[in-house]
Amino acid sequence: MNDQTPPFLRQIDDHDAPARNLGSSPNLYLNSQEAQVLDLATAFSMVAESCKNDPAMAQRLIDMIGIEKLETAKARRSPVRMPITHIRTIECSIAHSPSRASPTGKDGKPRRCRPERDKLPYFVSIQITDPHSRGLSDPAWKGAAQLRTPERAARDARKNDHKTSLSNEYADWLDEAVLPLASQREFLVGFLMDKRKGEGTYFHEFQVILVSEDQLEARNLDGAVILSREADGRTTAIYLPPFSPSTGKGKPLSSSFVLQSRGVRTQGERSEWATGILGIRAS
């Protein structure tokens, strides 16, 4: 075997080589001094068989590939629903980014009014800490939502481009349990989601945030509620405390953010930072 042979193949003895006509042609015969072409199927079979017979080689291969690092990175990328237990603090910020589209087209005529295609002007950012967090700057979970009217929420939940992450069961739950309440109380509805650069948007099913539209427009929001339906059918409501136009340090909110709620679990905890106490109820 020449010096260019990968190290893990040098450890395969002649008796480990595949039999003639095994797999697609051509095969590699390790007792041959002539350079051969090795197809992937044969290579995988050879390496797998050798790893079965030699645990030390299997571990070396794992170390070479970095499987543990790959698995850890994969786990971090996986969408995780907002936790509803062991919450210490919740910071909920609302940004306003109104549409800058011209009311008229290039021909000077008024644009057709199509609310279902309008840009969603309100964006919600949520950060949660738990007992393992090292502080407010070390959230255990981060998520987001775009606020919609109940009518648009009903349409968007069943849009074709959302079918990969919003199930019919989720849309049914919205129609039956969430949107009637939102319509009655004039709430805006946000689907909790996780947006990651280059990886698209993951919607966290059966989790929404409800915000009073009138209070939000008046910039006088006395709270919001996050609903989470669990696997056993119970629904947990997390009531956020009043929203403030300032940060926890009393400074104006940055960028396009207009309001922020900062909730804690117990009275007196982070009193200079918090805007109130969280309420968590299961039903």
Q: Average pLDDT for residues 39-52, to the nearest whole number?
A: 78
Residue scoring higher pLDDT (258 or 113): 258
Q: Say what the pLDDT of residue 49 is.
A: 83
Residue scoring higher pLDDT (14 or 152): 152
Q: Average pLDDT for residues 5-12, to the nearest whole number?
A: 46
Q: Give yes or no for a contact between 249 and 206, defined as CB atoms under 8 angstroms apart.
A: no
The C-alpha atoms of residue 154 and residue 147 are separated, in whole angstroms, by 12
**Which of 18-22, 90-94, 145-149 shows the lowest per-residue confidence on average (mean pLDDT)?**
18-22
Residue 22 pLDDT level (bands cut at 50, 70, 90): very low
Residue scoring higher pLDDT (81 or 193): 193
Strands of the chain, DSSP E: 89-96, 122-129, 141-148, 187-196, 200-212, 224-229, 235-240, 243-244, 257-264, 276-277, 279-282
Residue 61 pLDDT level (bands cut at 50, 70, 90): confident
For 126, residues 6+ apart whose C-beta sits below 8 A from its C-beta are: 82, 90, 91, 92, 93, 141, 142, 143, 144, 145, 192, 209, 226
Q: Give yes or no for a contact between 264 and 270, defined as CB atoms under 8 angstroms apart.
A: yes
Q: What are phi and psi of 268, to 5 degrees?
A: 90, -15
* Residue 224 pLDDT greater than 80, yes or no: yes
Q: Say what the pLDDT of residue 14 is.
A: 44
Q: Say what the pLDDT of residue 239 is.
A: 98
Q: Say what the pLDDT of residue 78 is.
A: 46
**Nearest partner of 191 among 150, 146, 151, judged by Cα:** 146
Residue 9 pLDDT level (bands cut at 50, 70, 90): very low
Q: Say what the pLDDT of residue 43 is.
A: 78
Q: Say what the pLDDT of residue 220 is.
A: 97
Residue 26 pLDDT level (bands cut at 50, 70, 90): very low
The C-alpha atoms of residue 84 and residue 206 are separated, in whole angstroms, by 12
Residue scoring higher pLDDT (66 or 55): 55
**Which of 67-71, 163-167, 272-276 shows the lowest per-residue confidence on average (mean pLDDT)?**
67-71
